[in-house]
Structure 1
């Protein structure tokens, strides 16, 4: 049994890193100013004001895990018995004042994790952004508590919703599969939750 626990721990730690994020349009900071002239005379038409736009920089995916039975958070090095159900939550903290269009998330599960089929992928984008770039444990709990209450999408690839389960991959967005487009609302957290059983 000890060997099984050690093996489970090893794969549990590895899976926590196996998530990919792709984004559509993420603006970079820029100063903009208009210039002109009248009949070739640049002194006859003054320059416009300088307009400054700031972006939130690179967005980061964060993956957390929770015991399905009671919602207790667990770390990537936790050892759990085979048969334990675990909720994985992946989230993006969008502190930008603008919506981020066309977000895609993919999580390919290791063979020691069995997806809780059918139709168990939930997406929530209603929680307000975290105070800082990195969310606190309390903020993560609020994100998780909200996401698990959301109705699950369908596992099938379709334009009906933004989620699907193909092969061994949980998919959100349409870059990898023909799902509906997934956006991340401004000043909010986009969270994905799904349940697996440890083999």
Structure 2
């Protein structure tokens, strides 16, 4: 679990918003059929070996200014960003699926720490979702599903420009994502339609909040 820490340079109050960051292992399962004729194994060769890899997915959250500047220091262990009160922060949440199989029924919930100073930007025009082709995989460590900074900037841009913008209300016709009117943004929940991360893709959503 990592946290976004932003200090208001007016009140010096610290606002905290939690997000999940996963590095997921890759597991391999091997299977082989064994053969014999009348219990003589030499008379029927064993089958080929089938190897299937399982890969967990990663849920990542990043923070940006509305001009696209990444707030890197506020989302690293022990780091923090100092921002003026009234600054609008753009949050990107994405699920990286680098596998060849689509993953259905994904559910994402983000509860903002309103008491510490976050206010959701009601009527945000970038409350969107999108599936970006080609899931991010680290060449050096396949279990590290965190996309690079340039990849995350591209994901953010794709989500913002997506034609499939969603309303904040729960219900038809586009109830994939919603805001509960208090402090929680959700996607694919019980009151929403389901969310699917397509194969070899990154699913992403964006919303904004203001630092009080």
Q: TM-score, normalised by structure 2?
A: 0.74
Matched with 1:162 is 176
- Structure 1, unaligned runs of 5 or more: 22-26
Deviations 1:176-198, CA, capped at 9 Å, x for gaps: x3211111111111111101111
From 156, 179, 184, the counterpart of 1:144: 156
Contact 2:60 2:146 in 1 (8 A): no
Cα deviation, residue 125, structure 1:
0.9
From 172, 185, 189, the counterpart of 2:187: 172
SS at match of 1:79: strand
Contact 1:95 1:129 in 2 (8 A): yes
Q: Which moved more, 1:40-49 or 1:136-145?
A: 40-49
Q: How many residues align?
A: 183
Superposition CA RMSD, Å: 2.7
Cα deviation, residue 163, structure 1:
0.8
- Identify, as 1 or 2, the structure richer in strand: 2
CA pair 148-42 structure 1, distance change in 2 beyond 3 A: farther
CA pair 66-35 structure 1, distance change in 2 beyond 3 A: same
- Structure 2, unaligned runs of 5 or more: 1-7, 75-79, 139-144
Matched with 1:24 is none
Matched with 1:129 is 135
Deviations 1:14-48, CA, capped at 9 Å, x for gaps: 20x24599xxxxx953222335677x757476543
2:204 matches 1:191? yes
